[in-house]
Structure 1
Amino acid sequence: MTTERSVELTPVSQPATTPSQTVGPFFALPGGLPWPDGPDLLPPHAPDAVMLRGRLSDGAGEPVPDGLIEIWQSDERGRFAHPDDPREQATDFRGFGRCATGPDGEFWFRTVKPAPLPTPAGATEAPHINVTVLARGLLDRVVTRIYFPDDPMANATDPVLSAVDPARRDTLVATATADGFRFDIRLQGDDETIFFAV
């Protein structure tokens, strides 16, 4: 035989919100993921050098001062500075750079504009730079690409860029500057940069 017990339910007041915490690690701290050549993919006075500058911002448009941007790319002939690329390579081009963002979210790289690349399927990819972003609040890296404004025909037939919603493609295209290009990265919100699952 069971006996029912009456239970009085008392409304619970709304619990206080727990404080938010920033997800680390913090890459701008000394010793965080150093790279010997930093943002220089080639020597400072290389004749074909261009500057690539940008700003990393969060969903509210505020700068992310403790982010880390990495780029990797081919050289101006479509060659990679990697043992898996058996073709002749430029000896002074590193192909990889890493730059911590400053207090204003700004980053920069000294690099070259890459060449178009063949795909395994026989198509051609427009000149582009691969980008990885690491920052507070991200549990994993995000990956995007930078395309160039002076290659509209190549961009139109690029297999990756043409798969992006036409209304959002401009988030992947840099703007020209006096000494190179600018590419701002927005992590969320209006004009969020397109990121790729890799």
Structure 2
Amino acid sequence: MTDLAPTPSQTAGPYLHLGLLWDDGPDVVAEGTPGAIVISGRVHDGSGAPVTDALVETWQADPDGRFAHPDDPRGPSACPGFRGWGRCATTADGGYAIRTLKPGALPTPEGATEAPHVNVSVFARGLLDRVVTRIYFADEDNAADPVLATVDADRRDTLIARPVDGGYRFDVCLQGAGETVFFDV
């Protein structure tokens, strides 16, 4: 038997656009769904330059705090057409947009409540693995969220989406001053 060296790490891009996209990717719900919102923003690097070949992926609960998954202990989402999962490539200006429903609060195994949030993964060139963050909403009570409470108070703002016409704005800064908080999962 021959000893083989491990395969070296590779960055995530630039092949994201070849195999990871599909037409309905940015639509967690169909256009015209009652209560639909759009979460949009830009992905940029530490110097503020747009990341034009990133992929933003989301996973979330529905407005009742249920996931579109048969293993949700409260039962799967009852929202017609709600997938819970979206995927959007960034544009030439680093922009992305996901059409979805605003999520509800979630119970934790310890009996606490997590504020409404969207789980986000970002894949991009130069990254050896995805980076993971969360989107919280400025117009929700986030004070008791147990995950957000673990983040330094002066950095929590990087996880808050702000209301804009028809939805929310959430920019992702991959490094440097104002870097979005990323979680080690």
Compute the TM-score of the two structures, normalised by the length of structure 2. Answer: 0.90
Of Structure 1 and Structure 2, the greater strand share is in 2
Tell me the equivalent position of 1:108. Answer: 97
Cα displacement (A) at 1:59: 1.1
Tell me the equivalent position of 2:130. Answer: 141
Tell me the equivalent position of 2:58. Answer: 71
1:41 and 1:104 map into 2 onto residues whose CA distance is 22
Structure exhibiting the larger radius of gyration computed from Cα positions:
1
Cα displacement (A) at 1:24: 4.8
Tell me the equivalent position of 1:83. Answer: 70
Stretches of structure 2 that go unaligned for 5 or more consecutive residues are 1-9
1:100 and 1:88 map into 2 onto residues whose CA distance is 28
Tell me the equivalent position of 1:48. Answer: 35
Compute the TM-score of the two structures, normalised by the length of structure 1. Answer: 0.84
Residue-by-residue CA offset, 1:32-72 (whole Å, 9 max, x unaligned): 31235210001100011001101000111100000000001
Tell me the equivalent position of 2:13. Answer: 25
Cα displacement (A) at 1:26: 1.2
- Summarize the alignment of residues 121-132 of structure 1 with structure 2, pairs less than 5 Å apart: 121-132=110-121
Contact 2:11-2:129 at 8 Å conserved across structures: no
> RMSD over aligned Cα, in angstroms?
1.5
1:88 and 1:142 map into 2 onto residues whose CA distance is 27
Q: Which runs of 4+ in 1 moved over 4 A?
A: none
1:160 aligns with 2:147: yes
Residue-by-residue CA offset, 1:95-150 (whole Å, 9 max, x unaligned): 00000000100000000110000000000000000000000110011000000001
Tell me the equivalent position of 1:3. Answer: none
1:61 aligns with 2:48: yes
1:150 aligned partner, one-letter code: D
Q: Structure 1 vs Structure 2: percent identity of aligned residues?
A: 57
1:160 and 1:141 map into 2 onto residues whose CA distance is 19
1:85 aligned partner, one-letter code: D
